Amino acid sequence: MFPISRKNKIILNYILVLILVFFSFAVNWNYAKYGIFPIDTFLHYDSSYRILEGEYPVKDYWIVSGFLVDFIQAFFFKIGEVNWQAYIFHSSLFNVAISLFTFFLLIELNLNKFYAFFYAVSIAILAYPVSGTPFVDMHSTYFCLLATYLIFLATKKPKKNYIWALTVLFFALAFLSKQVPTVYLIILYSPIILIHLVITKNFQAIKVIAATLLLVILSFYLILELLKIDYKLFLLQYIYFPQSIGSDRLVNFQFTIEDFFNHYKFILIPLFLLIFISLKTFSKNKINFYSKDFINILILFSLCSGLIFHQVLTKNQIYIYFLIPLCFGFLQIQIEKSKINFKKFLKYLILFVVIFTTTKYHLRFNEDRKFHELANVDLSKAIESKELDKSLEGIQWISPYFPNNPQNEIIFLKEIKSEIDNINNKIMVFTHYSFLDSVTSNNLNSPSRTHTVDGASMPMKDNKYFRDYKKYIEDIIVEKNIKQIYFLKFEKLSTKAISQYIKKDCYTQSQDKLFIQFKIEKNCYN
């Protein structure tokens, strides 16, 4: 091989970075537009639009997570327009950040830049494109991932304590995106980091972490005051009620070892090989178990454990397969440091496995859109969505609700849009098609960001916070002078949200071709 000059090396680095930026952005942008699952796809669309209209989460609509994601998306709507392009620009840019951070971290940990590029590309394919659109679980997980990367850097550069401050900040951003898996990882990381800092006598870092945490809490309290959001109401929606949901899931927590291994084997195999090789290397070289190398392995193990636990507990679609290239990347780093035989063969084997798994899960989640319940849907039947509204241009519209005839879904929604435009009274609409708020002239006044009646979106009768939510609904009806409450008939959402939270003598029910309608009786809530 011919030697490469320093100038050419710099040029090559820039080329790799530019390719990675373009690819990671383009891959998410491309797959985000194929198919929709209304409740997930549009989770932050309406809520972010409402922020621009002067309404805020907690105060004007009930949330259980995603406080921060709404504000970030509102920013992208503000600098652009309220449309689909601004929506997926947000998530695509986030995919770029994840990929770039991975690339530079692996180089910093002494992995060859071409291998680092390879693993970063794999992560770009398996990270945000699984969803494509902004989503609470993704944001929380990837902020945690970036915080984890900072921990790796902080252990390598112990004198640069500002990195610990940034770590706290990223964990705060993760928590305000979604409480879990952030809390799980903080619980797992904290004793490892604390013991490491005490053993290495880096007490200054402990002070920096504590000071940053205090500053974050005070700053967030001031933001709530500025937005006139009652901190007690925030605690109710974001801490107490979600905690009650989590407690119920823990009580009913079940899984089999077989299912566990089947789903996560390609994460577990490199992770346990990494631990095995590391322990063997450490024992031979008598390296302190609280050296930066060992700490990084403990943190990586905790990262995988926390995310797997979160997936098993929530029983949502699996989105954490980006851990496969990450674990294999760390495995390769450790192989390079070890004195084991067949290094070259093992590296080629790792590359093959990563290519195989990346292709496997790319086809399952990106091509088949499994995350959006479209795995068994013929995506070729999708139609352009601009017919519904110009702001939605770019979506290849097909959903699990109308898998064989998406045109009918568009027709229904156009009729619903037109009907809502012609309603003169103050209304409240319960729907998973929350983007309707932004494309109609009438305000939908949805009391919650999501409307599931399994207890995950709002407290049901058996939940101790049921009365709090009931009062929340009643207050919105009074303050906004709501006259009618609508459900989209074809959507078949449960109307328990009415029967459980509004007095039976306070409404009359009717229906037509498009809506199930509840008329609020005059002076009922005086």
- Is the pLDDT score of 170 beyond 50? yes
User: Under a CB-based contact definition with an 8 Å cutoff, are residues 101 and 146 in contact?
Assistant: yes
Residues 360 and 423 in one domain: no
pLDDT at 258: 73
For residues 152 and 299, give the distance between their C-alpha atoms in angstroms, rounded to a whole number: 8
Least confident of 20-24, 95-99, 313-317, 433-437: 313-317
Residues 421 and 504 in one domain: yes
For residues 66 and 57, give the distance between their C-alpha atoms in angstroms, rounded to a whole number: 9
Residue with tokens 């983007």: 435
For residues 468 and 62, give the distance between their C-alpha atoms in angstroms, rounded to a whole number: 11
pLDDT-derived band at 116, boundaries 50, 70, 90: very high
Specify if 13 maps to a domain.
no
For residues 272 and 279, give the distance between their C-alpha atoms in angstroms, rounded to a whole number: 10
What are the pLDDT digits (tens) for 189-215?
999 999 999 988 999 999 999 999 999
pLDDT at 500: 85
Residues 420 and 343 in one domain: no
For residues 494 and 513, give the distance between their C-alpha atoms in angstroms, rounded to a whole number: 17
pLDDT at 55: 94
For residues 404 and 377, give the distance between their C-alpha atoms in angstroms, rounded to a whole number: 8
E-assigned strands of 55-97? none
pLDDT-derived band at 244, boundaries 50, 70, 90: confident
Q: Is the dihedral of CA 478, 479, 483, 488 positive or negative?
A: negative
Average pLDDT of the residues in 257-269: 85
Q: ∠ at Cα 310 (236, 237), nearest 5°?
A: 10
Encode 242-252: b = buried (16+ Cβ within 10 Å), e = exposed: beebeeeeeee
For residues 93 and 247, give the distance between their C-alpha atoms in angstroms, rounded to a whole number: 35
Residue 371 makes CB contacts below 8 A (sequence gap 6+) with: 37, 40, 130, 131, 317, 319, 365
**Domain tally for the chain?**
3
pLDDT-derived band at 253, boundaries 50, 70, 90: low
Residues 224 and 261 in one domain: no
User: Under a CB-based contact definition with an 8 Å cutoff, are residues 76 and 90 in contact?
Assistant: yes
Specify if 95 maps to a domain.
no
Whose CA is closest to 448, among 70, 125, 92, 192?
Answer: 70
pLDDT at 250: 66
Residue 152, SS3 per DSSP: helix
Say how many residues make up the chain.
526
What are the pLDDT digits (tens) for 381-410?
999 998 899 999 999 999 999 999 999 999
Q: ∠ at Cα 259 (258, 265), nearest 5°?
A: 85
Mean pLDDT (the chain, rounded): 91
Residues 366 and 280 in one domain: yes
pLDDT at 122: 98
Specify if 121 maps to a domain.
no
| Owning domain of residue 418 | 404-520
Residues 291 and 367 in one domain: yes
CA distances in angstroms from 350 to 329, 345, 358, listed in the order given? 9, 9, 12
Residues 353 and 421 in one domain: no
Residues 224 and 267 in one domain: no
DSSP single-letter state for residue 66: -
User: Under a CB-based contact definition with an 8 Å cutoff, are residues 30 and 132 in contact?
Assistant: no
Residue with tokens 């959402």: 493
Residues 214 and 262 in one domain: no
Q: Could you give the dihedral angle defined by the CA atoms of residues 132, 135, 140 and 141, in that order, rounded to the nearest 10 degrees? A: -40
User: Under a CB-based contact definition with an 8 Å cutoff, are residues 393 and 399 in contact?
Assistant: no
Q: In the chain, what are the helix, strand and coil shares in percent, each to the nearest 5?
A: 65, 5, 30
Residues 261 and 224 in one domain: no
What are the pLDDT digits (tens) for 477-492?
999 999 999 999 988 8
Residue 419, SS3 per DSSP: helix
What are the pLDDT digits (tens) for 122-134?
999 999 999 999 9
Specify if 134 maps to a domain.
no
Least confident of 110-114, 147-151, 375-379, 460-464: 460-464
Residues 442 and 352 in one domain: no
- Is the pLDDT score of 497 beyond 80? no
Distance of CA 80 to the CA centre of its chain: 22
Phi, psi angle pair for 199, to nearest 5°: -65, -40
Specify if 393 maps to a domain.
no
Pairing of strands 396-397, 383-384: antiparallel
pLDDT-derived band at 180, boundaries 50, 70, 90: very high
Encode 71-95: b = buried (16+ Cβ within 10 Å), e = exposed: bbbbebbeeeebbbbbbbbbbbbbb
Residues 515 and 414 in one domain: yes
Token pair listed for 202:
């880096």
Specify if 429 maps to a domain.
yes
Pairing of strands 484-488, 427-430: parallel
Percent of the chain clearing pLDDT 70 (strictly above): 94
What are the pLDDT digits (tens) for 413-448?
999 999 999 998 899 999 999 899 999 989 999 999
Task: Sort 505 into a burial class: Cβ within 10 Å, 0-12 / 13-18 / 19+.
Answer: exposed
pLDDT-derived band at 1, boundaries 50, 70, 90: very low
What are the pLDDT digits (tens) for 31-57?
999 999 998 999 999 999 999 999 999
CA distances in angstroms from 313 to 255, 306, 309, 419, listed in the order given? 9, 10, 6, 41
- Cα atoms found within 13 Å of the Cα of residue 498, Cβ hemisphere only: 21
Global pTM?
Answer: 0.94
Compare 251 and 309 and report the one with higher pLDDT: 309
Which contiguous run of DSSP H or E holds residue 237?
none
For residues 200 and 370, give the distance between their C-alpha atoms in angstroms, rounded to a whole number: 46
- Cα atoms found within 13 Å of the Cα of residue 374, Cβ hemisphere only: 32
Residue 173, SS3 per DSSP: helix
Annotate 173-210 with DSSP letters as a single string: HHHHH-STTHHHHHHHHHHHHHHHHHHTT-HHHHHHHH
Specify if 52 maps to a domain.
no
Specify if 96 maps to a domain.
no
> Distance between the two ends of the chain, CA-based, in angstroms?
84
Whose CA is closest to 116, among 342, 330, 360?
Answer: 330
User: Under a CB-based contact definition with an 8 Å cutoff, are residues 436 and 444 in contact?
Assistant: yes
